[in-house]
Each structure stands twice: as structure tokens, then as C-alpha cells.
């Protein structure tokens, strides 16, 4: 029987590495393995399929980059969710559905990242067979290693406590070969071992991509790998490497102007490092950040979500200077329970939630560098970076303190103000071991203590059922 491979549900045929528009080519489904692996063009097909899947994984509410962003949104002290009859609300108030082993989030985050890892393993098992185009093979291999490292970074943060306190605890299984029915299933490697694996992938990927020019912002180049490494080292509290990689990552990206920020996050600009363009063909509609805010008051025909689900705490709104370019809040009267502040940060083009989707940008890297410098007590340099960002956002009252702890606190607050609703604040809570406090005018007020396993997903039931996982995460305990 002819062996067929159905790559990640969305294989995209590409003749080379560059396209005028991101993956704007004819999709295919049934492709023989022999065809895919007979040359580097076939491997590029598989790699483009991985990129496509990273954004548009099926059931995107729970999977894909957009799905992870949405899942992370409400693990923030500054946002809350209207109760409008969908599972997003129950996750936002940290009911057990958010992390339990039988739930959609624990299962889909696991399956999504391991599918990416497996397809990366397939590419890596073949790419060294081709030596006729070393620049192309290095580019394919470098991107693939970086993607695999990124996927393991996602997994280790979702399925165990942060590195600084849990390096010897069970993390997630490590696989570097292709999944087959015969392959032995691995138990959970330690957190330390997973970080060692992903750092090796990212570091090797960075060296291979040093001279590669990507065709568009969807692809991972050396800047993006430096950015991921900055995130990793920040989480590991390796401040010197975090600062160095953040600085290298942001070198080619100017901060957006105040006007660009006020224009909304629907069109990429010079600050955007990594993002995905949506088209009418691959629009994921109700599973992106535009739908969560629904600023334009529309909803694609036949859909049920996207009904302006998010609100902002008034205490957070009051943190912004009146002229701050990020002060784009308006009060919505929606009845006694759901009235509250909304934000114009994510607003689409007015039809079908189309818009460019942000993953990484220069301001995040600047803030990583500033925090890492401050934690090394290089407070003058850290303050200068913080003030640079604040000035670009038209902040009237610039931070002035060079007291180390006061400056670190100011930088962490600036991260909340600059990066809200981008799915990043959960990671700050976990790595800094902070309580999640929902207070003020939040519809549901509660506190989740630092190091609570209410933040951490359980290993999925299906994975436990294979019998190779020796330790399950608790559903509700304090580490």
C-alpha cells in the first residue's frame, strides 16, 4: 500500500523558501513520504506545514498560538471575563476545567506542542541527508530546532512550576525521534533536563540561522531565536544571558510610535518581530485576540463566540497617565454584572476579526533587558531603558528611582501596562512567584496563591493511560 502522510492537516506546497505573501500557495493533503523527503523542497513543505499549524491548529480556542494567548489572558490581575455562557468564563475563574487531566486545555496544549515536536523530529531526521544546498539545509534545520525548543518551552511552563523552584521536579517527556507505534514512551524528564534540551535546540538553531534572511515575519530567524532565549533565561533567572539575548533580539526593531500604538494592534509595524498575517482563507475568526474584545461590534455569520468577552479593572485603567498612548479605555454599559472598562488595543478591520496577529515585539525585549539589568543592580542602565519606553508612549511621570527593588517593581508594572492582553502576564506571575489577585471592580474577586497548582496543567488522562507516566501533578495544592 502506498504510504501517505497527512502533515498537520495543512501541508503547503512551496517551491522554495520565499513567498511574496506568507504561504500564499496551493495547499495539498495527500503527499507521499517519498516525495516529501526526496529533496530540500519537500522538507520545506513539511516546515511550512508546521508554521501553518502553529497558528491555525484545529479547535484554536484551545490550541495554536492564538489559543495559548487566549488561555493565558485571564491569569492576570487586570482583566476579567463576562459570563456569557461559554467555557472561557469558567477557565477565567479558575474552576478545575482549566487544568484538570480530563479537560480540553490540558489535553489540547499537550497534543498541540507534541505534534509540533514530532513533525520537527521528522524534518531533523532527514535534513542532514542533503548537502548540495548547505545554506538552505542550515536554514531549514535552524528553524526546525528553534521551533522544537519553543514547543518544549511551552510545555514545561504549562505542566510544572517554574524553573527556579522546581528544577528537580518531573517536567514533561522528551522525544527527539519520530513517533511510531513501536517507539517506547518516555516518563517525565526533570524540569532541568527539559531546559537543557530546549536550550540545546535554541542555541544550535541560532548558530545555523546567523546569516539567513527570512522572507516575512512569520518565519523564525536569529532575532526571534534570541528573543525566545531571552524569555528562557529570564525564566531561569540567568540575568546576564537574558539581557544579552534580549538586546541582540531587539537591535533591528524600533519601538512603535505613539500614533502606531494608538492605531491598534491589527497591522504589523517596525516593532513587530514575530507575527502572523491572517487572510480570508486562513482567518481563524473567533479564536483570536480581536474576537475577545470585539471592538467593532460584529461577529462572523454562523459563529457563537466573540461577544466582547473581556473587561479591564478600573484600578488598572487608573494606572495610566491621561496622555499615555496606551490609555485607550472606554466604559461599557452592559447591565449590572457586565458593565465595565474595555480596551481598544486589539481591534480588527471591521470584518471577520481579520488582522495581523502579534507574537513577539521589541518592547517586550527592551523590558526583559531592563529587568535583567536591574536584577544585576545595573540600575542606571535599566532606568534609561525603562524611560526610553515610557517616553515613546508619552508617559508624563517617568520613573526616576534607582533603588533596585523599586526599579524592578516599576519594570514589572510597566510590563503589565505595555503587554496586557498579549498572553504574557501569566508567565510573569509564575516566574516571579506572585499571587494572582482579582480585586477592585472585577466581576469575580478571588486570590490564587503563588506556586498554586491551579496555574499548572495536569498530565492528560490519555497520556497517563499508557502507563509510562509515574507522577501526576496535583489538581489543587501549593508547591
Q: What are phi and psi of 5, to 5 degrees?
A: -125, 130
Question: According to the model, what pLDDT value does residue 285 have?
Answer: 65
Q: What are phi and psi of 451, to 5 degrees?
A: 65, 20
Question: According to the model, what pLDDT value does residue 34 have?
Answer: 75
pLDDT digits (tens, 9 = 90+) for 54-108: 986 655 455 789 889 989 998 999 999 887 666 788 889 999 999 999 999 999 9
Q: What is the 3-state secondary structure (H, E, C) of 438-471?
A: ECCCCCCCEEECCCECCCCCCCCHHHHHCCCCCC
Sequential DSSP letters for 316-333: HHTTS-TT-TT--EEEE-
pLDDT digits (tens, 9 = 90+) for 260-286: 999 889 899 999 999 998 777 766 766
pLDDT digits (tens, 9 = 90+) for 420-455: 999 999 999 999 999 999 988 878 899 999 999 999
pTM for this model (two decimals): 0.93
pLDDT digits (tens, 9 = 90+) for 289-321: 888 887 666 555 445 455 678 899 999 999 999
Helix (H, G, I), strand (E, B) or coil at 312: strand
Q: Are 8 and 58 in contact (CB under 8 A)?
A: no
Question: According to the model, what pLDDT value does residue 21 have?
Answer: 39
99: left (phi over 0), alpha (psi -120 to 50) or beta: alpha
Q: Which CATH number applies to 4-263+358-465: 1.25.40.390, 3.40.50.720, 2.40.50.140, 1.10.10.10?
A: 1.25.40.390
Question: According to the model, what pLDDT value does residue 292 have?
Answer: 81
Integer Cα distance of 222 and 98 in angstroms: 34
Question: According to the model, what pLDDT value does residue 237 have?
Answer: 98
Q: Is the pLDDT higher at 371 or at 12?
A: 371
Q: pLDDT band at residue 239, thresholds of 50, 70 and 90?
A: very high
Q: Is residue 462 scored above 70 in pLDDT? A: yes
Element (H, E) at 4: strand 4-5
On average, the pLDDT of the chain sits at 88
**Cα–Cα distance list, 21 to 18, 24, 178, 276 (Å):** 9, 5, 31, 11
Q: What are phi and psi of 161, to 5 degrees?
A: -60, 165
* C-alpha closest to that of 229 among 259, 201, 209: 201
* Mean pLDDT, residues 15-29: 34
Strand residue runs (E) in 90-137: none
Q: Is residue 340 scored above 60 in pLDDT? A: yes
> How many CB atoms are located within 10 Å of the residue 307 CB?
16
Domain map (residue ranges) of the chain? 4-263+358-465
Strand residue runs (E) in 284-392: 310-312, 329-332, 340-343, 357-361
Amino acid at each position: 500500500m502506498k504510504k501517505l502522510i497527512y502533515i498537520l492537516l495543512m501541508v503547503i506546497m512551496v517551491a522554495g523558501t520565499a513567498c511574496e505573501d506568507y504561504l500564499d500557495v496551493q495547499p495539498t493533503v495527500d503527499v507521499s513520504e517519498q516525495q516529501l523527503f526526496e529533496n530540500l523542497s519537500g522538507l520545506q513543505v513539511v516546515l511550512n506545514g508546521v508554521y501553518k499549524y502553529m497558528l491555525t491548529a484545529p479547535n484554536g480556542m484551545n490550541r495554536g498560538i492564538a489559543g495559548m494567548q487566549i488561555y493565558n489572558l485571564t491569569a492576570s490581575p487586570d482583566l476579567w471575563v463576562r459570563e456569557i455562557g461559554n467555557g472561557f468564563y469558567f477557565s477565567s475563574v479558575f474552576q478545575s476545567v482549566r487544568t484538570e487531566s480530563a479537560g480540553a486545555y490540558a489535553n489540547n496544549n499537550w497534543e498541540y506542542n507534541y505534534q509540533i515536536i514530532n513533525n520537527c523530529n521528522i524534518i531533523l531526521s532527514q535534513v542532514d541527508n542533503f548537502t548540495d544546498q548547505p545554506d538552505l539545509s542550515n536554514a531549514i534545520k535552524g528553524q526546525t530546532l528553534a521551533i522544537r525548543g519553543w514547543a518544549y518551552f511551552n510545555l514545561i511552563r504549562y505542566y510544572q512550576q517554574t524553573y527556579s523552584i522546581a528544577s528537580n521536579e518531573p517536567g514533561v517527556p522528551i522525544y527527539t525521534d519520530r513517533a511510531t507505534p513501536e517507539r517506547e514512551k518516555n516518563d517525565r524528564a526533570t524540569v532541568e533536563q527539559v531546559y537543557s534540551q530546549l536550550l540545546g535546540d535554541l542555541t544550535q538553531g541560532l548558530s545555523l540561522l546567523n546569516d539567513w534572511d527570512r522572507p516575512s515575519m512569520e518565519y523564525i530567524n536569529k532575532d526571534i531565536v534570541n528573543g525566545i532565549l531571552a524569555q528562557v533565561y529570564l525564566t531561569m533567572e540567568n540575568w546576564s544571558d537574558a539581557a544579552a539575548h534580549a538586546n541582540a533580539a531587539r537591535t533591528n526593531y524600533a519601538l512603535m510610535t505613539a500614533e502606531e500604538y494608538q492605531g491598534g494592534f491589527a497591522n504589523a509595524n517596525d516593532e513587530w518581530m514575530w507575527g502572523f498575517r491572517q487572510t480570508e482563507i486562513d482567518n481563524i475568526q473567533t479564536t483570536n485576540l480581536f474576537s475577545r474584545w470585539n471592538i467593532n461590534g460584529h461577529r462572523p455569520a454562523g459563529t457563537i463566540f466573540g461577544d466582547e468577552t473581556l473587561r479591564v479593572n478600573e484600578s488598572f485603567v487608573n494606572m495610566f497617565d491621561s496622555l499615555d498612548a496606551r490609555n485607550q479605555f472606554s466604559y461599557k454599559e452592559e447591565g449590572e454584572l457586565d458593565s465595565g472598562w474595555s480596551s481598544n488595543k486589539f481591534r480588527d478591520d471591521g470584518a471577520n476579526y481579520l488582522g495581523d496577529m502579534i507574537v513577539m515585539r521589541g518592547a517586550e525585549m527592551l523590558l526583559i533587558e531592563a529587568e535583567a539589568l536591574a536584577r544585576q543592580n545595573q540600575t542606571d542602565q535599566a532606568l534609561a531603558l525603562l524611560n526610553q519606553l515610557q517616553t515613546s508612549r508619552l508617559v508624563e511621570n517617568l520613573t526616576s528611582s534607582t533603588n533596585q527593588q523599586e526599579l524592578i517593581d516599576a519594570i514589572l508594572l510597566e510590563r503589565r501596562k505595555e503587554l496586557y492582553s498579549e498572553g504574557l502576564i501569566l508567565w510573569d506571575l509564575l516566574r516571579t512567584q506572585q499571587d494572582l489577585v482579582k480585586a477592585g471592580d472585577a466581576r469575580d474577586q478571588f486570590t490564587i496563591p503563588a506556586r498554586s497548582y491551579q496555574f499548572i496543567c495536569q498530565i492528560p488522562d490519555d497520556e497517563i493511560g499508557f502507563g509510562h507516566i509515574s507522577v501526576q501533578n496535583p489538581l489543587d495544592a501549593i508547591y
